[in-house]
Amino acid sequence: MSNNEFKDNELEKFKKRFSGKFDHLEESFLGVEFKFRNSYYRVTRQHTFDDNDTGILKKMFHKTIGEYEVIKLPIVDYPEHYETTFDIFIGVFDTIDDLLENFKIDDMSFKDIVTSNEAVFLGFD
């Protein structure tokens, strides 16, 4: 069962809300948490660390801009507390298109995950 509000080919709606200038009135968001295939993830375009550690994170993933950060949450139940360390990051992506095309889970691109009935979006901020 999915509560996926981006099913039915609404990828453009997701792109619009998750890129460009943040505007609460336009229902845009800076981060999203979701469950996919029994694991929990967080994708954010708001840097998690301070400038120095963000630079280290970008270097780890060979990115120059690194606007989008992807974390595989080390939890069994949601919501649950976790410690944010470098080892829980599974990707950094420069643009929304880079994220949608190149972030993959089980060989499925994020653009397909966003509209998949398997994806359950848990929260937006």
What pLDDT, on the 0 to 100 scale, is given for residue 25?
A: 67
What is the total count of domains within the chain? 1
For 30, the token pair is: 């800076």
Which of 55, 67, 66, 88 lies closest to 22 in space, CA to CA? 67
Q: Tell me the average pLDDT across 6-27.
A: 81
- The average pLDDT across 35-49 equals 96
Token pair for 57: 């994170």
Q: What is the pTM of this model?
A: 0.92
Name every residue whose Cβ is closer than 8 Å to that of residue 66 and which is 6 or more positions away in sequence: 54, 57, 58, 92, 93, 94
- Does residue 4 belong to any structural domain of this protein? no
Position 77 in a domain: yes
Question: Where is pLDDT greater, at 22 or 56?
Answer: 56
6 in a structural domain: no
Residue 3 counted as domain residue: no
Domain limits at 103?
A: 11-19+29-124
